Structure 1
């Protein structure tokens, strides 16, 4: 996950204009960095909660929070989600169906859908 965030931040710096942070390119960079942070926060919460059946909720929540920042945040969420699923699909052994369900939750959150659609009963309100 940390590698994905580093990749996103490096890509943003290389791909976007890093002039005045209040210009369009600078805003994209700030939104992307914030979006990467949102994705990391959701991942950390998922690991901390260690709650069976909650991974789709955290996928949707991370993407939702990141995309609310703007185009840069949505871009970061998509890059991180895709990288994580591509890496995980080869490592986890859960198969294509789990990857498809994760990507559905990612897209749902990134497109403004309420992450609580995926919230399992009993997940502590802290999350």
Structure 2
């Protein structure tokens, strides 16, 4: 898993020199680390959504959406080695939901995710 994470980071850094929004890339990375730290069941799609949301809404400058799309697609491509295609389709729906500024909270309620954004803990 560490090798895959390192590979993703390397690709992001190389791509950044070719036209990624650094703020958006950082927001995606923060959401990924937040997800790993929370280690909360059924919450993957919430973090997909919120990472994309923050990458577009919290950053300025060009390429926000294309950066979030690139990183999301890269993540789905690497996840494709271990997940089913159906997971990827649902993950991409969550990615798009966030990129278009919609409420990511549905991915907390809809799938019984116990993550609490207010305190960044997994609890009921």
TM over 0.5: yes
The two structures have a TM-score, normalised by structure 2, of 0.78
Partner of 2:67: 76
Q: Matched residue of 1:66: which SS?
A: helix
Matched, 1:7 2:11: yes
- Offset at residue 35 of structure 1 (A): 0.5
Greater helix share, structure number: 1
Distance in 2 (CA, whole Å) between partners of 1:12 and 1:59 is 20
C-alpha distance in 2 between matches for 1:95 and 1:54: 17
| Superposed structure 1 runs of 4+ greater than 4 Å apart | none
RMSD between aligned residues: 1.8
Aligned-partner Cα distance in 1 for 2:64–2:107: 21
Which runs of 5 or more structure 1 residues have no equivalent in the other structure? 16-28
Q: Does 1:126 align with 2:119?
A: yes
Partner deviation per Cα, 1:15-41 (whole Å, 9 max, x = no partner): 4xxxxxxxxxxxxx6xx1001110010
CA positional deviation for 1:99? 0.6
CA gap of 1:77–1:5, structure 2 versus 1, over 3 A, is farther
